[in-house]
């Protein structure tokens, strides 16, 4: 089985208790995630397995995620 871990630089979280989230399809939200992960050095080819763990989100984000799928990591709004 493939090992999953967070793509955010310096994190590498792979705890089973932490949920990992694939990039959102919504363009605006996706851009915010990409900027958060790579800090304005977004690679030309985004790895398909890019994931962000729940540590980077406020709990309230998950409420929004359930409502409209548009959440972004803390500090990047
Ligand atoms: Zn992480």
Rounded to whole angstroms, how far apart are CA atoms 59 and 2? 27
- The alpha carbon of 53 and the centre of ligand 1 are apart by a number of angstroms equal to 4
- The alpha carbon of 67 and the centre of ligand 1 are apart by a number of angstroms equal to 23
Neighbours of ion ligand 1 (CB under 5 A): 6, 8, 11, 13, 53, 55
Rounded to whole angstroms, how far apart are CA atoms 29 and 14? 23
User: Encoding tokens for residue 50?
Assistant: 């890019």
Please write the tens of the pLDDT for every residue from 14-50: 877 788 888 888 888 888 889 888 887 899 999 888 9
Using pLDDT thresholds of 50, 70 and 90, give the confidence band for residue 2. low
Q: How many CB atoms within 10 Å of residue 12? A: 10
Domain ranges across the chain: 1-72
Q: What percent of the chain has pLDDT over 70?
A: 75
- pLDDT score recorded for residue 44: 92
Cross-strand partners of 21: 52
Cross-strand partners of 22: 51
- pLDDT score recorded for residue 45: 93
- The alpha carbon of 68 and the centre of ligand 1 are apart by a number of angstroms equal to 22
């Amino acid at each position: 089985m493939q090992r999953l871990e967070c793509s955010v630089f310096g994190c590498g979280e792979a705890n089973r208790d932490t949920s990992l989230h694939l990039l959102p399809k919504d363009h605006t939200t996706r851009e915010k995630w990409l900027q958060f992960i790579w800090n304005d050095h977004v690679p030309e080819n985004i790895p398909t397995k890019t994931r962000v763990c729940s540590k980077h989100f406020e709990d309230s984000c998950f409420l929004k995620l359930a409502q409209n799928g548009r959440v972004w990591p803390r500090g990047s709004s």
